């Protein structure tokens, strides 16, 4: 495994599109597979994670044609998943693993075995298995982890209240709910990203959303068929976040990222950065229709001074994948930044609390871990050094941004991990430099 060096950079400038959204790409392929008929996806994310999803739906019997980022999927229908010889390999993708389990759990004709890489074998599936089992599913796990088998069953509708907000668990329940014999609902507070609700509603599922205070309940009715659809995938705000952070940290920068998904459930980091004093133009105001199309737009970011902030549990779901990057940004702010209520970070592609704290400490940051987050004392700069990606795509990209903004540059061990979600990242950064 080689390392890649990122040297201190002059001002970043220009405009670009970032990688296509990973969450929406996974769902586009899976929901196309579940539809009756042929769907097209424009601008599909071609990265390791979402390629795993294309391979999975192909293995389940869908016709899949791929031409660059244009994908055409002939669905097998809601109840038509084919049997697979051997295991379905989900690679590094927790989203694929959990959503697919929801769909397969309601198909009594079969049994499927799922497995993935070393990292996926540390990621819990019991959080999906438990609610699905309440609906009549049978899932045999390896002490709550992959590999595991899904024995398709006839499902009954159920009302779920989630202890921890999770879009992956919510999505698995909603997908199973389509196949159940009666209404299914799932409540969470605060709400996680809502792409599944929006996209299934667009494909004709009877979905409704209600809100009481910070609790959001999504209800789904049993369904005979999903309509195929033609979709264009917007840019991924989680990928854009690395470009945004680079522009905020490198003096003199001014960049614009076009066609980014600006779903309120995804832009928590940008809101936090605004509170830190960042100038980010183009963020939406007001509440978009909860079952309408994805809000998207361009954002312009300019370098400027930042101050430390406190981030609590209510902001965690909308910024969950970006919190390690926030820790990097906080090193350059004036004052202390604390993140609490984010214990979920421990069960991501790596233990992102440990990984962030050890990675940034090695670069000279003043950062301390807590069971549910971290605190960072901003010093206005970062020395640099070597950071290990630990095979985690988001840590690899964090290391690169750290290098651009550091005094001495950063060597990122196994930077290739970035290709899980953003294969063109280094080239995009270079194009702005
Ligand atoms: C995702 C949901 C999030 C996020 C992950 C992608 C999704 O996980 O961390 O990278 O596409 O549904 P949660 O299940 O914790 O919300």
Average pLDDT over residues 285-301: 91
pLDDT digits (tens, 9 = 90+) for 342-366: 999 999 999 999 999 999 999 999 9
For 403, the token pair is 């290098």
Percent of the chain residues past pLDDT 70, beyond the cut: 100
What pLDDT, on a 0 to 100 scale, did the predictor assign at position 393? Answer: 98
What pLDDT, on a 0 to 100 scale, did the predictor assign at position 254? Answer: 98
Q: List beta partners, residue 256.
A: 15, 300
What pLDDT, on a 0 to 100 scale, did the predictor assign at position 286? Answer: 81
Best mutation site among 165, 193, 346 for ligand 1, i.e. most ligand atoms within 8 A of its Cβ? 193
Q: Is the entire prediction scored with pTM above 0.95?
A: yes
Average pLDDT over residues 166-187: 98
Q: Residue whose CA is closest, atom 9 of ligand 1?
A: 321
For 334-397, the DSSP string reads EEEEEE-S-GGGGGSSS-HHHHHHHHHHHTT-EEEEETTEEEEEEES----EEEE-TT-HHHHH
Residues with CB under 6 A from ligand 1: 23, 95, 166-169, 171, 192-193, 320-321, 344
In which element (H, E) is residue 57 found?
Answer: helix 48-59
Residues with active-site annotation: 321
Give the phi and the psi of residue 28 in degrees, each rounded to 5: -60, -45
What pLDDT, on a 0 to 100 scale, did the predictor assign at position 285? Answer: 86
Average pLDDT over residues 398-412: 98
């Amino acid at each position: 495994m080689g390392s890649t060096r990122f040297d201190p950079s002059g001002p970043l400038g220009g405009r670009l599109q970032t990688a296509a959204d990973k969450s929406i790409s996974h769902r586009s392929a899976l929901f196309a597979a579940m539809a009756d008929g042929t769907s097209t996806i424009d601008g599909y994310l071609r990265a390791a994670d979402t390629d795993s999803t294309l391979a999975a739906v192909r293995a389940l019997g869908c016709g899949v044609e791929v031409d660059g980022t244009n994908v055409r999927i002939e669905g097998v229908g809601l109840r038509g998943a084919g049997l697979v010889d051997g295991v379905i390999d989900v690679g590094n993708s927790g989203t694929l693993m959990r959503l697919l389990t929801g769909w397969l759990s309601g198909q009594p004709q079969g049994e499927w075995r799922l497995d993935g890489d070393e990292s996926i074998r540390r990621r819990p599936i019991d959080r999906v298995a438990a609610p699905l089992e309440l609906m009549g599913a049978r899932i045999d796990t390896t002490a709550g982890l992959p590999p595991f088998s899904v024995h398709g069953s006839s499902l009954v509708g159920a009302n779920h209240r989630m202890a921890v907000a999770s879009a992956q668990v919510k999505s698995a329940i909603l997908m199973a709910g389509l196949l159940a014999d009666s209404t299914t609902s799932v409540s969470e507070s605060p709400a996680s990203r809502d792409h599944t609700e929006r996209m299934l509603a667009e494909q004709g599922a009877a979905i409704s959303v209600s809100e009481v205070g910070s609790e959001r309940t999504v209800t789904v009715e049993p369904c005979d068929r999903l309509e195929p659809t033609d979709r264009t995938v917007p840019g991924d705000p989680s990928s854009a976040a690395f470009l945004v952070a680079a522009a905020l940290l490198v003096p003199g920068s001014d960049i614009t990222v076009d066609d980014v998904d600006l779903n309120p459930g995804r832009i928590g980091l940008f809101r936090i950065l605004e509170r830190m004093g960042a100038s980010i133009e183009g963020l939406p105001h007001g509440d978009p229709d909860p079952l309408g199309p994805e809000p998207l737009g361009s954002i312009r970011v300019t370098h400027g001074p930042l101050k430390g902030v406190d981030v609590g549990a209510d902001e965690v779901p909308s910024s969950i994948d970006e919190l390690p990057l926030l820790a990097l940004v906080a090193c350059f702010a004036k004052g202390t930044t604390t993140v609490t209520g984010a214990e979920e970070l421990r069960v991501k592609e790596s233990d992102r609390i440990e990984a962030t704290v050890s990675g940034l400490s090695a670069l000279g940051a003043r950062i301390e871990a807590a069971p549910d987050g971290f605190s960072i004392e901003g010093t206005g700069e970062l020395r640099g050094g070597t950071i290990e990606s630990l095979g985690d795509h988001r840590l690899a990209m964090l290391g690169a941004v750290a290098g651009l903004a550091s005094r001495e540059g950063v060597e990122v061990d196994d930077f290739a991990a970035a290709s899980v979600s953003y294969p063109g990242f280094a080239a995009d950064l270079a194009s702005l430099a």
